[in-house]
Chain A
Amino acid sequence: QVQLQESGPGLVKPSGTLSLTCAVSGASISDNNWWSWIRQPPGKGLEWIGEIYHSGSTNYNPSLKSRVTISVDKSKNQFSLNLNSVTAADTAVYYCARNQGSEAGNWFDPWGQGTLVTVSS
């Protein structure tokens, strides 16, 4: 089955750059799907960060657009998130997920297990 696994530093300094990678197994990142990053601050709800298609096309949440870059590496079957100028407000569990869609809508399935990133000096 399709599995996603996030990896990256668990601690980032304020004003630094948060960098995470999502490795995809059981499916090709070049399949007809978009791939997303979603985050969840401790004890709070979910926020969609952005998505990428294997062609490199991206869509971002306007609230984060100025600080976010999502990229894809087809040779490694993975995609990545960079978030710069981080503050404590960016502390969250970061999830990667596969977008699925049809005439019935668009949703996320499956999700990675998530990785906690703490912004602190």
Chain B
Amino acid sequence: EIVLTQSPGTLSLSPGERATLSCRASQSVSNTYLAWYQQKPGQAPRLLIYGVSSRATGIPDRFSGSGSGTDFTLTISRLEPEDFAVYYCQQYGGSPLYTFGQGTKLEIK
């Protein structure tokens, strides 16, 4: 099983600041099979990034993804009030086919 470990567990920042969220895999992730989701309280997760760095439809360009192999990063260039939420990374491949990280909570400082 490919285990995804996200850090930090909680990130406290202010609007306008830059956020850097990490997702580390226990073994190399196949090709570009990594995605990121945003989840707000009481809502379903929303796709932000797929294929490591491709933004989903309607996602602002302040969100960007990067990385390869076992180390991946989600960057939010300038935080807006609506960006404070929990973020999950997800990989495809191996057994089970899909696994998620445990999440990073981005909270207002």
Contacts and interface: CB of A to CB of B under 8 A. Distances in A.
Nearest to A63: B96
Interface string A86-121: 000000000100001111111111111110000000
16 contacts: A45-B88, A45-B103, A60-B96, A100-B50, A102-B51, A104-B32, A105-B31, A105-B32, A105-B52, A105-B92, A106-B92, A106-B97, A108-B47, A111-B44, A113-B43, A113-B44
A26 interface: no
Given A61-B96, A63-B96, A107 B103 contact: no
Given A106-B92, A108-B90, A59 B51 contact: no
Contacts of A60: 96
Interface size band for A: 20 to 34
Instruction: Place the interface of chain B in its size category.
Output: 20 to 34
B64 to A, nearest CB: 15
Contact of B44 (A103, A107, A112): A112
Nearest to B86: A45
Given A46-B45, A111-B45, A114-B44, 15 more contacts: A45-B88, A47-B100, A51-B97, A100-B50, A102-B51, A104-B54, A105-B31, A105-B33, A106-B33, A107-B92, A108-B37, A108-B45, A109-B56, A111-B44, A113-B44
Contacts of A46: 45, 88, 90, 100
A111 B46 CA distance: 7
A62 B54 CA distance: 30
A106 B33 CA distance: 6
Contact of A45 (B54, B56, B95, B102): B102
A100 B33 CA distance: 11
Interface of A: 36, 45-48, 51, 59-63, 95, 100-114
Interface string B1-44: 00000000000000000000000000000011111010000011
B51 A104 contact: yes
Nearest to B6: A45
B53 to A, nearest CB: 9
